Structure 1
């Protein structure tokens, strides 16, 4: 049985890559939300 702390011994480049992917994902979600916001705002003005 391996120690559970072994899970956190990831190479820095893997962590950096996951972090970068998360930022891209978050960015997409924010963009998606602001588009939806704009659309619903525009519709409410019609």
Structure 2
């Protein structure tokens, strides 16, 4: 659900961080990519 706000908000810098052992984990890769794509679409 999205609600239009009646005011303009400043941009926020978002960073993803994870433990190096999860670099090649397929489920974690999928989650990181899904989150990244979601926020790229919103720019």
TM range (shorter): 0.3 to 0.5
Larger Rg: 1
Query: As a proportion of its length, which structure holds more helix?
Result: 1
Structure with the bigger RCO (C-alpha within 8 Å, sep 6+) is 2
Q: Given the two structures, how large is their TM-score scaled by the length of structure 2?
A: 0.45
